[in-house]
Amino acid sequence: MQTPSSSRRRCAAGGLAAILAAALLLACQKKSPEEDLLHKVEPVGSWLASLQMAGEKWAANSLPSSFLRASLSAARKEFEKADEESAKSRARPEVTVPLRRLLAEAKAAGAGLERGVEAGDRAAVARQARQLAGLRARFETLQNAGKGP
Amino acid sequence: MKKWLQLALGILTAVGGFFDMGAMATSAQAGANYRFQLLWAVAAATLIVIFLVEMSGRFAAVTKKALPDAIREHLGFTFWIVPFLVLTLSTYLVLATEIGGVCFALHLVTGLPTPLMALPVAVLAWLFLWRSTFSTIENSTSLLGLITLAFVVAAFHHRPPAGEVLRGFVPSLPGEDPLKYWAIAVSIVGAVLSPYLFYFYSSGAVEDRWDRSYVGVNRGIAALGMSFGSAVAMGGIVVAAMVLAPRGIQVDDYHQAAMMLTDAFPFWGFLLFAVSMGIACLGATLEVALAMAYSIAQTLGWNWGENLDPREDARFSSVYTGALLLASLPILFGVDPLKLTVLAMASEAAVLPFVALPFVLLMNDRKLLKEHANGWISNTVAVVVLLVSLVLTVVSIPLAFLGGGG
Amino acid sequence: MAGGKVHFELLLGRLVRDPEGARVGRILSVTAEIQGEECVVREYHLGTAALLARLGISFFGKKPRRVPWDLMDLGDPERPRLRCLASELKS
Amino acid sequence: MKKLDLARDVLDKLVVDREGTKMGRVDGLVIDLSGDGPPRVEAIEMGFVVLARRVHPRVERWVERLRRWSVRRTARFRVPWEKVKEVTNYHVQVDLKALETPAFDWERWLRDRFVAKVPGED
């Protein structure tokens, strides 16, 4: 038994997929290298916020150290990926240079967080969390500046 | 009165099919990205799922047959083979996801790497299935599953702005990134409307030996069980909206969701999250592995039943054994649990029409169901589901890639 | 080719033509009777209405075309033929 | 005299043995056209190969090739209609013992080679 509607359904599916693919192509084409890069590194902001929250919560005794370590390694991967993206991007240096400086600082802050956790130093971890908050604010400014014009 | 104990089946179905790995991820993402704006998607999906679960329970109570069983019998093998294959494939992905959920929960508690947990978790789930009867699994999962209510408690604790929450129940367009918005909306529907859920529920009803007298109770069980799952999923959205969204945390990784409950429960929050996730996903693992074995055994006419000794249904027990082992492989080889979840949710949304069409045809068989066949209300819902699911099929896979989902 | 064997499951869905080659419909349902030890075929039902009837979905009075067993030539099971003209069938 | 719709009431229905053990489904029906009387249902058929044939002849060949590597003795297990005891809404009951038929080759093999070897199952 063949369902008579199946071929028609496949056509409709193909049509819609084609429209979506075309939309995707258009969306990609109109992006400048700067916008493209900033879009790709977007998760960095969310990760900075996560690390900040994790630091604060660890300092308040709400999270185990192992969780912090796991989060840090996941975040570090994201930072490194973003760094690679900006190294190979054709975006203007006005965007890439501050971005890469920020990423380096983020990695340093992550390392500081880890040292604090290993040492069991709550004050140091809380300090690093504040540092991360500052980085996140800078990252957001960067994102907004890139999107603005 | 005793019949109401069957509520356990409803809650088991809801824990497994509803508040599982997929719903955890989609609720957290929805709340973190769009605050309360996607609550309507959960509400709509819940309403639909109640109707569909009611239908599958009614069918099993009246005919004493589970759905895959009856579909093969009445619509024929040539009709069933395609839905059956796509359903099995999607169910496999979901099973792998749920195993990933248990592994991740254990990783949160122990700090050991997630892939390391894959085999032990598969073996643990297998032991449960091998050793226990259906009602043990049903009762323990639904009882332990109540711990996920922590999300609802936390949601109230945060005192979310009532007006904004209510507005979330009215569909609205997002200010920015509509692709991502729709991708999450689709995966919410996919997470809630798990196709295997109806097949599982009807098999469960047969395992629990329902008869015609359960038709009325079934309505209540479907509504209450699914509302339970829905409440937890909505709780997840509200908590994410109150905790993650203001901090600018998006859920690109399950680690980012794991801190969700620490605002409401500073000391226990982290453990509560891990335990909720572990139990919900373990319950789901059991349910999905059983669902797979049910549909294969019923399609081929094997002896089946979780209440039988494995020696009496060796093929049935071998299927869930093999399924669990195979499904532990993606996590074992280091596939990211969240990526796997997004893929599984998209596949669930995509296979829905294949699964819904035979189901709807069967519910209208008046020779079989007589006065219990679908009335116009159920049929209207069913047709809406079919149409919506057709659209979902077309858009779900591209959206999952475009919107990123995470 | 009388005396042949036919696989029922492969017969379902086959298009039936009459001796002039006109399409009559697809075989979608077959009725049989149990007579003691035997089970004998009585009628072949053709067309969508036969399918709907088989699925238990009542559909505004549309009736399947019924072909008694002796009017169906299954000599070539892949190309079933009527032994009479389509117009001569009682419906 | 009982009226049946072969597609709805017999094909794809559950087959149980004389003790009620589920032994498979009616994957196919063989109809005998010989004689002057009406066509007769000669046998019911069970097996993956029969199912595969319903999908496509090529799939049938693949499945048959696979089967030769397996423990299944025959590809098509044929039960003559005389063995059919009754056709109900739930099943087709046949006068056989499932465990002794090729339909249970896999079941038996898995029970002896796998289930029985699981610790605690003796």
Mapped onto helix, strand or coil, the DSSP state of residue D92 is strand
CB contact under 8 A, C35 and D1: yes
Tell me, what's the pLDDT at D105?
Answer: 87
CB contact under 8 A, A71 and B249: no
Residues of A in contact with C51 (CB under 8 A): 1
Question: In tens digits, what is the pLDDT along chain B, a chain of 406 residues?
Answer: 567 777 777 777 777 667 788 888 899 999 999 999 999 999 999 998 899 999 999 999 999 999 999 999 988 898 899 999 999 999 999 999 999 999 999 999 999 999 999 999 999 999 999 988 988 888 888 888 889 999 999 999 999 999 999 999 999 887 777 888 888 888 888 888 888 888 889 999 999 899 999 999 899 888 988 898 899 999 999 999 999 999 999 998 999 999 999 999 999 999 999 999 999 999 999 999 999 999 999 999 998 988 888 888 999 999 999 999 999 999 999 999 998 998 888 888 888 888 888 888 899 888 888 889 888 888 888 888 888 888 878 877 777 776 654 3
**What is the Cα–Cα distance from B241 to B155, expressed in whole angstroms?**
9
CA distance B57 to chain D (A): 18
Provide the greatest CA pair distance for chain B. Answer: 59
User: pLDDT tens for residues A50-106?
Assistant: 999 999 999 999 999 999 999 999 999 999 999 999 988 888 888 889 999 999 999
All chains having 3 or more CB pairs closer than 8 angstroms to chain D: B, C
Q: Which of C2, C6, C29 sits opposite D7 (nearest CB)?
A: C29
Answer for the pair B146, B276: CB distance below 8 angstroms, yes or no. Answer: no
CB contact under 8 A, D15 and B301: yes
**pTM across the whole model:** 0.90
Q: D14-16 and D92-94 as β-strands: parallel, antiparallel, unpaired?
A: parallel
Residues of B in contact with C48 (CB under 8 A): none
**What is the Cα–Cα distance from B270 to A68, expressed in whole angstroms?**
12
**Amino acid, res. A4:** P
**What is the Cα–Cα distance from C17 to C5, expressed in whole angstroms?**
20
**What is the Cα–Cα distance from B325 to B346, expressed in whole angstroms?**
23
**Amino acid, res. B105:** A
In the predicted structure, residue A9 carries a pLDDT above the cut 70: no
Tell me, what's the pLDDT at C3?
Answer: 58
- Alpha helical stretches, state H, B177-214: 178-192, 195-207
Q: Is A144 exposed, middle or buried (0-12, 13-18, 19+ CB in 10 A)?
A: exposed
Helix axes B337-363, B195-207, angle to 10 degrees: 60
Contacts with B, C 46-85, CB within 8 Å: 55-58
Contacts with B, C 1-20, CB within 8 Å: 9, 12-13
**What is the Cα–Cα distance from A68 to B255, expressed in whole angstroms?**
9
Q: Which of B212, B315, B319 to mutate to test the interface with D (most CBs of D within 10 A)?
A: B315
Within a 10 A sphere around the Cβ of A61, how many other Cβ atoms? 10
Query: Which two structure tokens, joined as six digits, stand for B269?
Result: 């929050």
CA distance B73 to chain D (A): 5
Answer for the pair C55, B73: CB distance below 8 angstroms, yes or no. Answer: no
Tell me, what's the pLDDT at A1?
Answer: 40
Q: Which of C1, C9, C38, C54 to mutate to test the interface with D (most CBs of D within 10 A)?
A: C9
User: pLDDT tens for residues D64-109?
Assistant: 888 888 877 777 899 999 999 989 888 999 999 988 888 888 888 8
User: pLDDT tens for residues C17-72?
Assistant: 988 888 888 999 999 999 888 899 999 999 888 888 888 876 666 778 889 998 89
CB contact under 8 A, D41 and C2: no
Spell out which chain B residues touch chain D, with contact meaning CB-CB distance below 8 angstroms: 64-65, 69, 72-74, 76-78, 81, 130, 300-304, 310-311, 314-315, 317-318, 321
Q: Which of C6, C37, C54 sits opposite D8 (nearest CB)?
A: C54
Contacts with A, C 12-31, CB within 8 Å: 12-13, 28
Q: Which of D14, D51, D90 sits opposite B77 (nearest CB)?
A: D51
**What is the Cα–Cα distance from B8 to B135, expressed in whole angstroms?**
9
Q: Which of B300, B308, B312, B325 to mutate to test the interface with D (most CBs of D within 10 A)?
A: B300
Residue owning tokens 């453990």: B271
**What is the Cα–Cα distance from B195 to B349, expressed in whole angstroms?**
8
| Sheet with D14-16: strands ordered across | D22-25, D14-16, D92-94, D84-87
Tell me, what's the pLDDT at C84?
Answer: 87
- Here the ipTM equals 0.85
Within a 10 A sphere around the Cβ of D15, how many other Cβ atoms? 25
**What is the Cα–Cα distance from B370 to B352, expressed in whole angstroms?**
26
What DSSP letter does each residue of B304-323 carry, written as one string?
A: --TTS-TTTTHHHHHHHHHH
Answer for the pair A100, A87: CB distance below 8 angstroms, yes or no. Answer: yes
